[in-house]
Structure 1
Amino acid sequence: MLPRDTGIRPDASQLRGLSYAKAKLYGMPHLGASYAGGGIGRTRLGDGALCALCGRPAANAHHEPPRSNGAFLLPTKWGQFVLKPALIALCGSGTAGCHGARHDRRVAFEWRWADADAEALWWSGYLLSHGYPPHSRRLLDLGGWYAGSGDEWTRIEGR
């Protein structure tokens, strides 16, 4: 299991008022879904997408963090990067199924880096400017999505 917290923190000017917990979700790989346009409102499920939590057919894409937070501009020495919320395919709606469980806070999602070096390279902008663009599936080699609550967390994969 990957560590919950590597101890790496971007400086306050990079976070631009966001909490670290929320900021670290932006730009992470999508699971079973993608954006269907330039903004963050239109999404599409992948062919045969399954719910990342239970494996049933996915009904829609959940924004993590919520789309009401908008996109996040990450300034780094390698340039500025517009990061959108990650999308996770889930069954149900915002009130039912696994999507409802997320909205009711019965389950949460976390992104965990494999190690402190990978996280430091992300926040410095190096990964973003060297072959790991926002939402790249290659990031799954350097970390992973976890779902759970309290002390019980499980790594989830896109299907």
Structure 2
Amino acid sequence: MSYVPPASLLRGLSVDAAQKFGMPSIGAHYEGRGVRTNRLDEGARCAFCRRPATNAHHVPNVGMGGRNKGFALHGYELRPALIALCGSGTTGCHGECHSGLMRIEWVWDSDEYAEAWWSGELLREYGAASPMLYEFGGWEIARLGIGTVRRIRA
């Protein structure tokens, strides 16, 4: 993809971080308004290795500083996506995410779809975190150094 949204929409975040807000979650959900109300879906499996999930990972990371708790786009307050993973944050696939050995990113199918998201068109039509966004893109999870990549479209 070559589309880059205007800096004014990013509010100081990188494109990589900002484009993960408002995307559909995998195997997890929010039960309340706060970013820490995340819960695993019943029977959730790790999005990467398919073992039973033990944690919901925020994408992008919420982190100790709390910088990535929310992101406003066209009047919508978007939260980080949640990805069900095995491990604790120091073990399993969750640990690999926190240590930088695994990368999770949202990939649009075309620049046209990326532009429709950043212009607010897809957000207004489908809403934040809608599974319908898989019609236009999907998650890519890569284990770095090994080259293993898993693409998730629903």
With over 3 angstroms needed to count, the CA separation of the structure-2 counterparts of 1:150 and 1:118, relative to structure 1, is farther
How far 1:151 sits from its partner (Å)? 8.7
> What SS does the aligned partner of 1:34 have?
strand
Q: What is residue 128 of structure 1 aligned with on the other side?
A: 123
CA contact (8 A) 1:52 1:156 kept: no
Alignment pair present for 1:43 and 2:38: yes
- Which stretches in structure 2 are left out of the alignment for 5+ residues? none
Structure 1, unaligned runs of 5 or more: 1-5
Q: Superposed, which structure 2 residues align to 1:113-124 within 5 Å?
A: 113-124=108-119
- Give deviations 1:31-85, integer Å, cap 9, x for gaps: 000111001011111111000011011001000001232100113xxxx111110
Look up the equivalent residue of 1:74 and give its one-letter code.
L
User: Which protein, 1 or 2, shows the higher relative CO under an 8 Å CA cutoff with sep ≥ 6?
Assistant: 1
The question of 1:15 aligning with 2:10 is answered yes
How does 1:66-105 map onto structure 2 within 5 Å?
A: 66-67=61-62, 68=66, 69-75=68-74, 80-105=75-100
For normalisation by structure 2, the TM-score amounts to 0.91
Q: Please give the secondary structure, in 2, of the residue aligned with 1:120.
A: helix
What's the % identity of the aligned pairs?
A: 46
Q: How many positions carry a matched residue from both structures?
A: 149
Task: Report the Cα distance in structure 2 between the residues aligned to 1:33 and 1:62, rounded to whole angstroms.
Answer: 9
| SS of residue matched to 2:132 | helix
The TM-score with structure 1 as length reference comes to 0.88
Partner of 1:3: none
Q: By how many angstroms is 1:150 displaced?
A: 6.1
